[in-house]
Each structure stands twice: as structure tokens, then as C-alpha cells.
Structure 1
Amino acid sequence: MAGFKYDIKEHIGNISESPKGWTKELNLISWNNREPKYDLRDWAPEHEKMGKGVTFTKEELKELRDILNEIDL
């Protein structure tokens, strides 16, 4: 997808880091000047590149939290 814009409104946390320095992050991001969503994806150092990810509304993230809380890890 060419020509899209993003603005990281809030960095919530890093989940992991690869040996090459890429980090799996949860952020609140506005894509193409739209309402910000929670976003989980891999980022290169300095956020110059990104991997495929998944976005969640606040309600979806709450549902995911509830599902994860029910898992016996």
C-alpha cells in the first residue's frame, strides 16, 4: 500500500526484540489521519520500516485481554 501515513500517538510497550534490533510493539497509531487504533506489529530500529500487523479498537483490545486472562499459561 503506497502513500499511507501513520502517526504513533502513544508507545504502550515492547513485547520482544529480535537479534537484528526489530521490536514487536503495542502502540496507539493514527493511520491516514483516522481515529487512532491499538496496533501490534514488528518495527525496525527508528521505525523506518514495519512488518505486517494487526489493529484493534479499544473494545476489541478489551475482548482480547479477557480471552488471554482465561488461558492457563
Structure 2
Amino acid sequence: MGEIKYEIIEEISAFSESTKGWTKELNLISWNEREPKYDIRDWAPNKEKMGKGITLTREELIKLRDVLNKIKL
């Protein structure tokens, strides 16, 4: 498997942090020099490592927002 290249275009928000300092974040990222997508995943301090995550297009993110807004908490 080849090297994965990424560029964080926009750091949007970190919304949780583990006791080891990893943060769960929503960012806009370009993977392998492709069109940027919204990305939710865990990041180690200083972004030197990352966990598994999910990428979403703008349209998917809007649909997810709409679904989340319907949840009664």
C-alpha cells in the first residue's frame, strides 16, 4: 500500500479529547491531492498519527446535519 498524502485545508472543530491527548475532529481535508472532503476522525497531538475516520462530501455533511437536527436529546 502506498503512502497516503493529506493536507488539512481547514481545521473546523475538535469536539472531544481522550486522556492521552487524542482529539476527535471535524476538518476539511484533501486526500492524495483530490478534491477536499469533510472528515471526522481521531488525531494524535501535533497530528503525527490518525485513527480511522469517515469522509463526507458537502452534500453528505448537509444531510447528516439535517438528520442530527431531528434527534430529540
TM-score category of the 2 structures, normalised to the smaller one: over 0.9
**Structure 1 CA distance for aligned equivalents of residues 30 and 19 of structure 2:** 28
SS of the counterpart of 2:62?
helix
> Runs in 1 of length 4+ with deviation above 6 angstroms?
none
TM-score after normalising by structure 2? 0.97
Shift of 1:4: 1.1
| Root-mean-square deviation (Å) | 0.7
**Structure 1 spans left out of the alignment, 5+ residues:** none
| Count of residues in correspondence between the two structures | 73
Instruction: Find the residue that maps to 2:20 and give its secondary structure.
Output: coil
Aligned partners of 1:22, 1:2: CA distance in 2, in Å? 25
TM-score when normalising by structure 1: 0.97
Question: Which ranges of structure 2 fall in alignment gaps of 5 or more residues?
Answer: none
Q: Shift of residue 62 of structure 1?
A: 0.1
- Structure 2 SS opposite 1:66: helix
